[in-house]
Amino acid sequence: MSNFYGWTGSLLNIDLSSGNIEKTSSEDHIRDFIGGRLLASRIYWDEVPENIGALDPENVLMLIPGPLTGTPSTACSRWVISAKSPHSYPDQYGFGNGGGFFGAEIKRAGYDGIIIRGKAKNLSYILIEDDKIEIKDAAGLKELDTSRTMEKLKSIHGSASRPLCIGPAGENLIRFAIAATDQGGSFSNGMGAVMGSKYLKAVVIKGSKKVKIAHPDQLKKLNHKIRNFREGQNQILSVTEPMIQGIEKTKGTPCYSCPSGCVRSYFKHSSGKEEIRQTCAAAFMYLPWDKKYNEESTENSFLATSLCDRNGLCTAEMSNIMYWLNNCYEKGLLTDEETGIPISKIGSLEFIETLVDKIVNKKGFGELLAQGTRRASIEKGKTVEAEALNHIRPSGYVADAYGGRLFFTNALFYATENRNPIIQLHEFSFTVLKWMLWHTTDGTMSQLNTENLKKIAKRAWGGEKAVDFTTSEGKAHAAFIIQNREHAKESMVACDRFYPLLDTDKTEDGVGDPSLVPQLFEAVTGEKMSEDDYYKMGERSMNLQRAIMGREGKIGRAHDNINEFNFTEGKEIEEGMIGLFNPDLEFPGTGNEIISRRGKVLERTDFEKMKDEYYAFRRWDIKTGLQNKDRLNDLKLSFVTNALEKKGFLK
């Protein structure tokens, strides 16, 4: 693989403690570990000790694009940031996946990844201009918010430079601080706090090289096919604008090599603020509280997200905190006086401004909240902790977005992933949501009918039973396939809003092509990759992550659990588009039957049966959920077996 296409063949190693900068070969790793999530996991296994804390200097920060990043491959220029996460409870392997132009610029500068070790003596930033790398003083950037930091760095290094930075939350080591980049890219899982712990305010990259393509004509044809497939029905969920009053779209913000972008765009609010928004947790974080408090949507929803983004706070975790505070307040477990936060006024501008200020600056009760919902709730005792676990998982992440009471398959993702498995949740739920739009609008908003949904399930999820919502049958097989495919996708790194293209109105049967990403890989790199090879790569990623989680204390079946409410409390109301368009929570049943999941629980026996079947597909031990040595060797993961055997973690 000496003649590189797609890859650059080099890794950039930067030690902030010593100031040492070294360029090393990536060839040994990229052959089997490709890039993105998988390559980050491989480096993590070698370099991050199991007994260090996420905010210790020994933690290693990795900025890893994929082989398609920086090429003309449609919507494949995302990248992964990875380290031990301070947001996870306890500290554990973590990563964030984001877009914009920064990942492409890493490749254009000549690198398959950047590995940052140690801790600077003072607040610093890294400047990378191809082979010229400097560690520069960042005193002039101290305490600047993310927007102002990026503006200042671009004014110094030119508008073509691409910054990654943290805000005050990252500098102050708030455990759920984000890292941010231009075009609205943000990276959760506490990666901003990891940067802050290293006194790293920013990384700025300017590249001048081109990523070589093995088969340009083949790539051009594939791009045309992909863009044609995505038009119409497939892009429904990507073009819906945020449902917030008083905003107007001013311009799109597509990522590198994206033809048209998605809903993520600049929106101007009647308050005068202009920010990047998209239809997800970031846009809607404060909307439910705003509407409840003011009896309608006001500017507060828009301004609250702006406040979090600029300070560098994860909006998903801020949402968790607000749910917890409100529930505890309503039950008399927390008060305005005790917290110094006007919980009674949640939904007001006063509340969100007070909350953000106290968390970012660790004032009073805010110092506890800066640890995140999970750790804060533990500190307040069992009753208050139980309130938190009505909304979050024991690991600290949201517990019920597209949850298992509605989508059986998704329960297995929650049980086996170490962070919010949002991309896996999206593959199944977003496709079914298009069916919901067909069902509830008499086909006016979608053409994905029941017959075609079953064809998609047969092609992409192991069989039609995957979309029969009366039974748990077929769900483990679907979970196995989806998880492998999504791990592989995050190693390339392809966009969640584009891939896999499972449905399209450009084919007679409405079925798309889930093999497009490995086809892009072949065109770019010249390396053969079948659809089965692609899924096996994802299986390698899942098993390596499983080995890391085991080494860090989350072992086998005993930890493959979901929250108790899934088995005891029926799902009555669903938020977001599902609740808006399908309040009766109707889904396909057996044959042409339509059934309602409203008020239903996930039966514990069904969940345990799904786990048995899932373990069998993974070739893990069914009784314990421990990994199989022979299978690890088959997946080219023999380097983990000695460590796992010594701990008794293999079967």
Measured at the alpha carbon of residue 617, what is the angle toward residues 613 and 621, in degrees to the nearest 5?
Answer: 75
Phi-psi region of 342 (alpha: psi -120 to 50; beta: other; left: phi over 0): beta
Burial 604-615 (b: 16+ CB within 10 A, else e): eebbeebbebbb
Q: Where are the domain boundaries for CATH 1.10.599 in the chain? A: 408-624
User: Closest by alpha carbon to 183, among 210, 221, 154?
Assistant: 154
Cβ-contact 493, 65 below 8 angstroms: yes
Pick the CATH number of 10-206 from 3.40.190.10, 3.60.9.10, 3.40.50.80, 3.40.50.300: 3.60.9.10
Provide the residue count of the chain. 651
Provide block-wise average pLDDT over 10 residues at a time, the chain (651 residues): 85 98 96 97 97 98 98 96 98 94 97 98 98 98 97 97 98 98 89 98 97 98 94 69 65 79 67 63 81 88 90 96 98 98 98 98 98 98 96 96 96 96 94 94 91 97 98 98 98 93 92 97 97 98 98 94 97 86 95 96 98 98 97 97 94 89
Cβ-contact 317, 340 below 8 angstroms: no
Please state whether the predicted TM-score (pTM) of the whole model is above 0.85: yes
Q: How far apart are CA 87 and CA 95, in angstroms?
A: 11
Question: Do the strands 10-15 and 114-117 form a parallel or antiparallel pair, or are they unpaired?
Answer: parallel
Question: Do the strands 200-206 and 124-129 form a parallel or antiparallel pair, or are they unpaired?
Answer: parallel
Q: Does domain 290-392 have CATH number 3.10.310.40?
A: no
Cβ-contact 11, 24 below 8 angstroms: yes
Q: What is the pLDDT of residue 259?
A: 79
- 3-class state of residue 638 by DSSP: helix
- 3-class state of residue 633 by DSSP: helix
Cβ-contact 512, 228 below 8 angstroms: no
- 3-class state of residue 520 by DSSP: helix
- 3-class state of residue 203 by DSSP: strand
Q: What is the pLDDT of residue 417?
A: 97
Strand partners, 127: 134, 204
Q: What is the pLDDT of residue 241?
A: 56
Strand partners, 481: none
- 3-class state of residue 244 by DSSP: coil
Adjacency order of strands within the sheet including 247-252: 247-252, 265-269, 274-277
In order of 16, 31, 633, the CA distances from 623 in angstroms are 45, 34, 21
Q: What is the pLDDT of residue 239?
A: 57
User: Closest by alpha carbon to 553, among 212, 2, 51?
Assistant: 51
Q: What is the pLDDT of residue 281?
A: 60
Q: Where are the domain boundaries for CATH 1.10.569.10 in the chain? A: 290-392
H or E element at residue 162: strand 162-165
- 3-class state of residue 250 by DSSP: strand
A 10 A CB-CB count for 629 gives 16
Q: Where are the domain boundaries for CATH 3.60.9.10 in the chain? A: 10-206
- 3-class state of residue 600 by DSSP: strand
CA torsion through residues 423, 428, 434, 436, sign = negative
Q: The domain 408-624: what is its CATH number? A: 1.10.599
Q: What is the pLDDT of residue 268?
A: 72
Burial 555-582 (b: 16+ CB within 10 A, else e): bbbebbbbbebbbeeebeebeebbeeeb
Q: At what angle do helices 299-311 and 287-294 cross, to 10 degrees?
A: 140
In order of 44, 398, 414, 588, the CA distances from 408 in angstroms are 32, 17, 11, 13
Under 8 Å CB-to-CB from 648, ≥6 apart: which residues? Answer: none
User: Closest by alpha carbon to 35, among 78, 3, 2?
Assistant: 78
Q: How far apart are CA 262 and CA 497, in angstroms?
A: 8
